[in-house]
Amino acid sequence: MIETKLRERTCEAVKTLYGHELNPGAVGLEKTNREITGDFTIVVFPLLKLSRKSPEATATEIGTFLQQHMPEIESFHVIKGFLNLVLSDHFWMKFLSKNMVNPDFGFLKSRHERPVVLEYSSPNTNKPLHLGHIRNNLLGFSLAEILKANGHKVIKVNLVNDRGIHICKSMLAYMKWGNNETPGTTGLKGDHLIGKYYVLFNKNYKTEVHDLIEKGLTEEEAERQAPLIVEAQEILLKWEAKDPETVDLWKRMNGWAYDGFDVTYRRLGVDFDHIYYESETYLLGKYLVMGGLEQGVLVQKEDGSIWADLKDEGLDEKLLLRADGTSVYMTQDLGTAQLRFDDYHPSSMIYVVGNEQNYHFDVLKKVLARFGKEYSEHILHLSYGMVELPQGKMKSREGTVVDADDLMDEMYQTAEETTRELGKANELSDDDAAGLFKTIGMGALKYFILKVDPKKNMLFDPAESIDFNGNTGPFMQYTYARIQSLLARAGSAGYLWEDAVLPVQTPLLPLEKEAIKRLYQFQETIITAGDELSPAIVANYLFDLAKGFNQFYQELPVLKEADQQKVLLRIWISRFTGDIIKKSMKLLGIEVPERM
RNA sequence: GGCCCCGUAGUUCAAUGGAUAGAACGGAAGUUUCCUAAACUUUAAAUAUAGGUUCGAUUCCUAUCGGGGCUACCA
């Protein structure tokens, strides 16, 4: 890439002119601001210590050196300490003709032997997926695509939290009030049926706690002594003891949940290479904990419970095994990490998990380190922000969530209404129309979620439906569809643009050059997004690309241009742009329609 | 109480320590005998407060104020 060359030559300039060694990474190279002439800018302020000259003089000297040693540089000018470099049209034309037919443009060659294991989704089988899970799933899937584009081998794994006290709560409520109803008898999606009982448990539990407090118990006592929670704990004990009846019900109810999840996953367009079940890893976790106790890195209290004491590392004591011998979340996560490492020997293990679990992952890494597991250093928690509603946080227990299936239904409906209003579905068959509504609706939803920096909390207001205009998924899709329509017209007008050869000497108009520059930036976008683990970087790039193209398309005629070379050039730019929009959208897991 | 994260236009989001803080939606005003107006153009509007470090701070540090999370023998 030209950036590398610019950095290296700048170092040479500093060496030749001022006699100092400079690390290429230390060169302040950036894209030139929009209002200023130039393609790349070198900030020379940090170099003044070496040059011992004024900013202007330093920039001018380096600029002169670069121009002499790099044919790609056509001219330069200096504003204060900013050295603005203008690359030649020839450079941009060469880039365009070399890469526009390269299907792998922007993607890095595989360069890693060991894979990356990427965990995302991680549902609990006691309730259906909600908007928070949607963010998780979309982030996970998109990150996998981005890492692959960076040349990594990615194993997508899902860890199903299929056991634990929370599952027992749903089971207990079902046993008490379920009347043997099933997804079949109720017509409810399996995960929704189970969610109903989870909410029911919590409602009744709350009442019990309330009553006990009335009778004079403290809140803590009431929460621990309420009959429902005591019963749920008994069920967990029975389950860990493999009581046949308990295990049967557990299997039946989890089966319903899986059926429901499958439908949601398929609709979201996400998938996994390997599914781990907590019920299959918690025993390994227990084993590790017992081993840690023998090693002397854990402590056992009088009641038999086992803890990690992390106080000397700035954390607290953490329970790893309950007094009754049953395991907790951390227990199974220790086992899962070990199993995953044994299965794949990955170079890193990335966990896409919400930032409310930052502490959990701190502890996980530290405990594994105490066990002497070197892979603990390669555990990476991609801690994404919560999706908040105007009223605050979503709570499954209280049923105040934006349900994933409902939201997707709404997106489909809105897409259908809008498309019909615009009269764009008129010429489509029912099947094609339905496909288009799905593409647009899901595109709007996915882009809305992914354009936000993963680390930040984001707000979703259900009252204001997700937009289809402006910086949105449908905006990109529209730009793509319009380009396809243009290319079809070019074909029927007889332009053989696919085999055409364009003279590299063609001079470029500013809008043409800007359009090519944006295409060039696809490469660094992929790298940055991969380094930062951020689909938002791809989304921001996409908007810039599409917005800029629409401007180009508005201002300059393509097929109606008189100069035949210009027609070919602009078809090339259009076709390359369409290509990159599609690729970028794929990195986000979003489809593009050929027409809309 | 302790620990962590976040405060940018009316709203939702941008900005590797760099030039005049960008967009979108919403507001105001325009562009269709012209390659798809889900588009394009113009316009008003913001860095919570006070210090500090720096040639330069939305970005780093400290304090204050405001919001969120964690601090469970829940996951």
The low-confidence residues of chain A, meaning pLDDT below 50, are none
CA–C1' nearest nucleotide, residue A482:
B36
| Rounded distance between C-alpha atoms, residue A292 and residue A308, angstroms | 9
Residue A99 tokens, joined: 């890469």
CA distances from A461 to A24, A395, A402, A434, A556 (A): 46, 16, 10, 26, 39
Residue A318 (CA) to nucleotide B70 (C1'), in angstroms, measures 13
What is the C-alpha to C-alpha distance for residues A73 and A85, in angstroms, rounded to an integer? 7
The separation, in Å, between residue A459 CA and nucleotide B7 C1' comes to 14
Residues 295-324 of chain A sitting with CB below 7 angstroms of strand B: 301, 303, 305, 316, 319, 322-324
With a 7 Å cutoff on the CB, does A356 touch strand B? yes
pLDDT digits (tens, 9 = 90+) for A40-58: 999 999 999 899 999 999 9
Rounded-to-integer distance, Cα A366 and Cα A52, Å: 48
User: Residue for token digits 């940090």?
Assistant: A46
Chain A, 359-378: which CBs lie within 7 Å of strand B?
359-360
By three-state DSSP, how is residue A403 classified?
strand
The pLDDT value recorded for residue A434 is 97
Q: How far apart are CA A83 and CA A44, in angstroms?
A: 7
- Which of A58, A105, A113, A99 minimizes the C-alpha distance to A82? A58
- Burial code (b: 16+ CB inside 10 Å, e: under 16) for A574-596 equals bbbbbbbbbbbbebbbbbbbeeb
| Cα→Cα distances A72→A1, A69, A90, A351, Å | 12, 9, 8, 43
Of the candidates A280, A270, A286, the one whose C-alpha atom is nearest the C-alpha of residue A121 is A270
Which residues in 552-571 of chain A line strand B, with CB less than 7 A from it? 553-560
pLDDT for the residue A395: 75
> What pLDDT shows up at residue A394?
77
pLDDT at A205: 92
Give, as one character, the DSSP assignment of residue A47. Answer: G
Answer yes or no: is A81 CB < 7 A from strand B.
yes
- The pLDDT of residue A350 is 97
Spell out which residues of A between 14 and 53 contact strand B, using CB within 7 Å: 28-30, 32-33, 35-36, 38, 41, 43, 45-46
φ, ψ (nearest 5 deg) of residue A169: -65, -50
pLDDT of amino acid A399: 65
- pLDDT per residue over A145-179, tens digit each? 999 999 999 999 999 999 888 999 999 999 999 99
3-state SS, A372-397, equals CCHHHHHEEEEEECCEEECCECCEHH
Residue nearest to nucleotide B75 (CA to C1'): A329
Q: Residue A8 contacts by C-beta under 8 Å, 6 or more apart in sequence?
A: A24
Q: State, as a whole number of angstroms, the distance between the CA of A457 and the C1' of B14.
A: 15
**Sequence-distant (≥ 6) Cβ neighbours of residue A128 within 8 angstroms:** A189, A191, A192, A194, A195, A260, A264, A403, A404, A405
Residue A117 near residue A272, CB atoms below 8 Å: no
Distance A450 CA to B58 C1' (A): 23
Q: Compute how many other C-beta atoms are within 10 angstroms of the C-beta atom of residue A319.
A: 16
CA-to-C1' distance for A51 and B25, Å? Answer: 49
Write the burial class of residue A49 (CB in 10 Å: 0-12 exposed, 13-18 middle, 19+ buried): exposed
* Dist CA A468 CA A414 (whole Å): 9
Domains and CATH numbers, chain A: 2-87 (3.30.1360.70), 120-398 (3.40.50.620), 404-587 (1.10.730.10)
Where does residue A444 rank: exposed (0-12), middle (13-18), buried (19+ CB within 10 A)?
buried
Spatial neighbors of A440 by CB under 8 A, at least 6 apart, are A415, A418, A419, A468, A473, A474, A477, A593, A596
CA–C1' gap, A359 and B43, in angstroms:
48
The residue with tokens 């009581």 is A243
Long-range contacts made by residues A559-563, C-beta under 8 angstroms, separation at least 24?
A: A559/A486, A559/A489, A559/A490, A559/A493, A559/A495
Query: What pLDDT score was predicted for residue A313?
Result: 84
Q: Two tokens at A184?
A: 């079949």
Show the tokens assigned to A449.
């979620």
CA distance A60 to A2: 20
Within A 208-267, residues with CB less than 7 Å from strand B: none
- The pLDDT, as a whole number, for residue A39 is 96
Q: Where are the beta strands (DSSP E) in A375-530?
A: 379-384, 387-388, 458-459
Q: Measure A587 CA to B31 C1' (Å).
A: 35
Residue A319 to residue A472: CA distance in whole angstroms: 45
Report the distance separating Cα A370 and Cα A384, nearest Å: 27
Alpha helices by DSSP H, listed for A100-189, are 131-149, 165-177, 183-186
Which residue do the tokens 């599952």 mark?
A167
Rounded, the Å distance between the CA of A478 and C1' of B39 is 9
Who contacts A344 (Cβ-Cβ below 8 Å, separation ≥6)?
A114, A115, A117, A155
A112 CB-near residues (< 8 Å, 6+ apart): A151, A152, A153, A347
Relative orientation angle of helices A510-520 and A564-587, to the nearest 10 degrees:
30
Strand B positions within 7 A of protein Cβ atoms: 4-6, 11-16, 18-20, 23-26, 34-41, 55-56, 68-75
Nearest residue (CA) to C1' of B18: A43
